[in-house]
Amino acid sequence: MILQCNDLVKKYLNKTAVNGISLDIEKGRIYALLGPNGSGKTTLMKIAAGLVKPSSGTITYKGNPIGVESKKRVAYMSTEPFFYNYMTVQDAGKYYQDFFEDFDAKRYEELIDRMELGMKDKAKTLSSGLAAKLKIAATLARKAELYMLDEPLNGIDIIAREKIITTILEVAREDATILISSHLVDELEKIIDNAVFIKNGSVALNGDAEDLRVGRGKSIVEIYKEIYA
Amino acid sequence: MLKLMKYEFRKQAFSKFIILALVGLIELLFFFGVVADRENVIVTSMMFLFFFTFGAMFFLAFESILTFSNDLKQKCSYMLFLTPNTSYSIVGAKVLSAGIQIILAGIAFFAVIAIDGAILIAKYDAIEQVKKLLLEIVNDMFNMNIKFSDIVSVVALMITSWISTITIAFFSITLSTTFLADKKFKGFVSFIIFLGLNVIYNKITSLAIGDVSEYLSGLDIYFMWQSIITVCFIIVTYLGTAWMLEKKVSV
């Protein structure tokens, strides 16, 4: 087990974002965290990344609390742009290289080239699509044990989505686990091993994608519609 | 921690270039006044330099506090808090880089003012009289038994007080963030906490070491005790800030 949540709760002043989630994420698999906006996917990922502190419950990475060691091994990509305003694409790469031992600068250059970005481009002047590609390049240039990608296809046009999915699959190694949150279920259906459906901050359904399809006689897209419609 | 400090300096580099450019402009005005022998221009440029020095020193402290506040409320905070560093290292890097910037800026401004002063003394006889007057004042001060330890203790107190202002502000912002998250009036609450903590600091100081009037024969002792209490306050507010970030604050 690489990531384990037990009865995890995150409450804000007048809202419960995560409501008693218990979930085990196994090594070497691709998970889809599915659910509409506001269902709690992002908060769950941010708790696992160490950005948000849970109100109660526990979350462990390889049996240890989230902290410095997990941050060395987990590559998290948020849905919002997060680079400093002064940064160019090259600065962003140097920053990652300075802080993450698993960052591969050569791989970053390749990905930047593939995403049709320039090293001198300013992060803050990039269009939303290009900014999303920069986040993906920086995150996937790490040789992490767990990748958590929050809405990686947001703002990406249909043609480029294929390129992003191919790039995500390139990092899917035996020892790498990928957790992707999205509401674009049809785009993910063909690549995932497991599906976790989140509804109102709780796990509505969780299981092996193929077992769910066979067991219910429906595609993941249809199950999604059944749960959230 | 050095890498964290490097990026703290980088985040605030733009304002340093602006400060440097403005000092350069003031100095150009000063040198024009010296070369063209225009006393009114020299006086104006020196006035600008004095006011700008105070303004810039306040701005440097304010900018460190503003950067910390932005790091808690803007999405670029992910860049900082996703790195494999403890909150103790992150806050430590911020406090150290703020302290280094203030000390270096203080030395730089002192050097510029000293060079300008030396040029004026070399050029104008009337300034020579001012120099004599200043020397007399200094001699009088030495006759009053102003010791080297007095100067050291005053400088130590100035630096620790400046750094404690920053750590108290960090603590206030973090404390308000723990229970107000992104609420609009969070900044106002932080300011009230900041004022409250300064009142507590002054009370503790006066309770612990008494009034300055009790130390007239040994001011250096008073300043050193006050510096020690200030350092304790820096440590407490630093540890409190880092603990809250580690355990309570969500970004």
Q: Catalogue all structural domains in chain A, each as residue range(s) with its CATH number.
A: 3-228 (3.40.50.300)
Q: Which residue in chain B has the smallest CA separation from A93?
A: B79
Contact A53 B86 (CB under 8 A): no
Q: Strand A74-77 to strand A146-150: parallel, antiparallel, or no bridges (unpaired)?
A: parallel
Q: Which residues of B are less than 8 Å from A72 in CB distance? A: 84
Q: Which residues of A are less than 8 Å from B83 in CB distance? A: 71, 99-100
Contact B85 A52 (CB under 8 A): no
> Which long-range contacts (C-beta less than 8 Å, at least 24 apart) are formed by B94-98?
B94/B4, B94/B8, B94/B64, B94/B67, B94/B68, B94/B170, B95/B163, B95/B166, B95/B167, B95/B170, B95/B234, B95/B238, B96/B1, B96/B5, B97/B5, B97/B8, B97/B9, B97/B64, B98/B8, B98/B60, B98/B61, B98/B64, B98/B163, B98/B166
Helix (H) or strand (E) holding A194: strand A194-199
Q: Which residues of B are less than 8 Å from A68 in CB distance? A: 84-86
C-alpha–C-alpha distance, residues B143 and B164, integer Å: 33
**How far is CA B10 from its chain centroid?**
18
pLDDT at site A111: 92
Helix (H) or strand (E) holding A178: strand A177-182
Contact B84 A100 (CB under 8 A): yes
Give me the residue label for tokens 């008494």: B210
Tell whether A81 is within 8 A of chain B (Cβ): yes
The whole-angstrom distance between A174's CA and the closest CA on chain B is 24
Write the residue in A46, A78, A84 that is nearest to B11 by C-beta.
Answer: A84
Tell whether B14 is within 8 A of chain A (Cβ): yes
pLDDT at site A18: 92
What's the mean pLDDT when you consider all of chain A? 90
Q: Answer yes or no: are the C-beta atoms of A103 and A96 closer than 8 Å.
A: yes
Tell whether A174 is within 8 A of chain B (Cβ): no
Give the residue-averaged pLDDT of A174-184.
86
Contact A86 B14 (CB under 8 A): yes
C-alpha–C-alpha distance, residues A59 and A70, integer Å: 11
User: pLDDT confidence of A203, banded at 50, 70, 90?
Assistant: very high
ipTM above 0.90, yes or no: no
**In this structure, what token pair is assigned to residue A115?**
């995403």
pLDDT at site B140: 67
Residue A161 has pLDDT above 70, yes or no: yes
Tell whether A12 is within 8 A of chain B (Cβ): yes
Identity of residue B238:
Y
**In this structure, what token pair is assigned to residue B145?**
């038994």
pLDDT at site B225: 86
pLDDT at site A169: 87
**In this structure, what token pair is assigned to residue B106?**
């203080």
Contact A52 B82 (CB under 8 A): no
Nearest by Cα to A175 from A143, A148, A206: A143
pLDDT in tens, chain B (251 residues): 889 999 988 888 888 889 999 999 999 988 888 888 787 888 888 888 888 988 988 888 888 899 898 888 888 889 999 999 999 999 999 999 998 988 888 888 888 888 888 888 777 766 667 667 666 766 666 565 667 777 788 888 888 888 999 999 999 999 988 877 667 788 888 899 999 999 998 888 888 887 777 766 677 788 888 899 999 999 999 999 999 998 888 88
Give me the residue label for tokens 């001012």: B130
Contact A49 B82 (CB under 8 A): yes
